[in-house]
Structure 1
Amino acid sequence: MEEGEAPVDGEVETPFAAETYAAQAMAADMDPWIVFDSKITPRSEFDGWLERNRPSQVYRFGDEEGGGRPVGWVAVRGPNFIPCTGDVHGLQKSWEKLLASGRPINFHTVRELALKHRVLAGKWLMHLDSGFKLDHAWECVARAALDGKVSMVKVSTYDPKGEARQVICTYNHNFSDESEVIKMDSIIRATGVKCPLTYKPDVYTYLGIYRNNRWKLCPTIYESKFDLECVPRRSHIVNRVTNLKVT
């Protein structure tokens, strides 16, 4: 699961828990996904697909009786979806060299590697308790992907023995373009989603930078809180690297 927020209340953190989160995310990525690809599957089939694959009802390791296959993610690829073309292998080799060099490990040095190897995608994350609110938020952003407003969205599957929350990831192409990141937030908000969001660049995921990591990096670089009191209603977005408000 993509991790970007403070621990769940009552959850006990262990030193360098980031390695555990990274291993869990890798395992989910490698297991089968349930995918609706807008380029291949007729739009008329979407409503039925959505109903059959509500994320609160799709089990991470098979159903309650132990039947069925593991499912890593449920995802919708929009008509403008393009697979990542960055050099992830080169990124990871450069990362090992950076660790061995003794240079500082911070957002700026990681960003240099991401730009060099063109690993630029990122995602807004929403962490929600499994159930109706999760399923509703998922439907909102999934339809945005179907309409071509978002390139891809994915949601983690339900693990009754794991964390109580599931995570929805809404992708954009370039984490280093702040205006693009803000625009994606506004697209998400326009679907009706009002819960807090955090933003994580894919480079952090590929390098195992999750919460409670050994480099003490915040695993997300933006946070967004929707202001219900403001007219017109809008998000307040903070850059967590600089701690400055960006909207």
Structure 2
Amino acid sequence: MMDMDIDQPIDLDIDHEVIELPDWVMPPTQSEIDDGLYDLHEDDEGIWIVYDWKDDNPDARIEPFYQRWPPSRTSSSLCSWINVNRGLSPASQLDQDAFDKRFHMDIEGLQKEFVEIENKVDTEELKLTPEMIDELAVKYGVLSGKWLVYASSEEVDKLWRKIVGIVTFDREYGSVKVSSRKVLEPSSESSPSATECNGGVPDPDEGHVICVYVEDYLDMDEVNRLRKALRFQAGVFKRIGFKPDVYTWLGLYRGNKFGIRPSKYHDSDNWARKK
């Protein structure tokens, strides 16, 4: 992790435009990690600030985590994601053999077979369908997925608290993460270096995304229960989409050459209206 100079926030005059900088949070400290306030993980997506649920006095433990890592004031120069992990759902707590068989996450096998399918699609021997992707997800145990809730920096802290509360206190299982606040690259001509402005100049075109997970995206009852909780308990009434993780691993984003919609479920779909 990069070392950062953290001073008091300042206003910067760029092209006669005053940019109000957030009161950025301080970088992680080893003493906080040792005290169990959070953990640090790093993977291909960057650095994660992770809160693993503690059953002893949960209210007292989660509140300092909220206060320490508000998404609107956590610079992307410090971490990519803030994550709260409440654990597995009761439905997925199978015996170990059954769990390993269904959720074995064979990413290498998944991607290898997909390359073979892609080659057939390229030669027009085959047409890729969402049902084929579902079959691959089951075969290779890649079944997790998430509702995607987008929010501005002005609203994200309050919404994050509500959604974490649903996962941790109401449902009592699951995982949720929120992106940190995107900042302009220090090399940008329109922004000074990150050290000059205590974490960076916020990117005005970027907001936040909150990912709220289910373990098995083919369990439609569970997918819909979570959507209802987001709607009626967190107030997320706007149209949102659900993306299976298998789509991400296979690189199925907007405008993909297969014509596959990148979000498998939406509020406007028939399944949602019938529930």
TM-score calculated relative to the size of structure 1? 0.71
Within 2, Cα distance between the matches of 1:213 and 1:58? 32
* Structure 1 stretch displaced more, 80-89 or 156-165: 80-89
Q: 2:64 aligns with which of 48, 64, 68?
A: 48
Name the counterpart of 1:177: 219
- Flag the 1:41–1:198 CA change in 2: closer, same or farther, 3 A: farther
- Flag the 1:104–1:244 CA change in 2: closer, same or farther, 3 A: farther
Within 2, Cα distance between the matches of 1:203 and 1:189? 25
Contact 1:78 1:147 in 2 (8 A): no
Name the counterpart of 1:78: 86
What is the identity percentage for the equivalent residue pairs of Structure 1 and Structure 2? 28
Contact 2:48 2:79 in 1 (8 A): yes
Contact 1:29 1:73 in 2 (8 A): no
Matched, 1:217 2:237: no
Query: Who wins on radius of gyration, i.e. which is larger?
Result: 2
Residue 158 of structure 1 and its aligned partner are, at CA, apart by: 0.7
Name the counterpart of 2:107: 88
Deviation by residue 1:146-198 (Cα, 9 ceiling, x = unmatched): 22614100011111335422100000111112222111111222422223321
* Structure 1 stretch displaced more, 183-192 or 114-123: 183-192
- Report which structure shows greater RCO (CA 8 Å, sep ≥6): 1
What are the residue-to-residue correspondences of 1:76-225 with 2, within 5 Å? 76-80=84-88, 85-102=104-121, 103-131=126-154, 133-147=155-169, 149=171, 150-161=173-184, 162=203, 163-194=205-236, 195-224=238-267
Count the aligned residue pairs.
197
Within 2, Cα distance between the matches of 1:92 and 1:80? 26
TM-score calculated relative to the size of structure 2? 0.65
- Flag the 1:97–1:124 CA change in 2: closer, same or farther, 3 A: same
Contact 2:266 2:272 in 1 (8 A): no
Residue 38 of structure 1 and its aligned partner are, at CA, apart by: 0.2
Within 1, Cα distance between the matches of 2:145 and 2:51? 20
- Flag the 1:148–1:98 CA change in 2: closer, same or farther, 3 A: farther
| Structure 2 unpaired stretches of 5+ | 1-41, 93-99, 185-202
| Structure 1 unpaired stretches of 5+ | 1-26, 62-69, 225-236
* Structure 1 stretch displaced more, 167-176 or 183-192: 183-192
Within 2, Cα distance between the matches of 1:148 and 1:34? 23
Within 2, Cα distance between the matches of 1:220 and 1:113? 17
Within 1, Cα distance between the matches of 2:249 and 2:207? 22
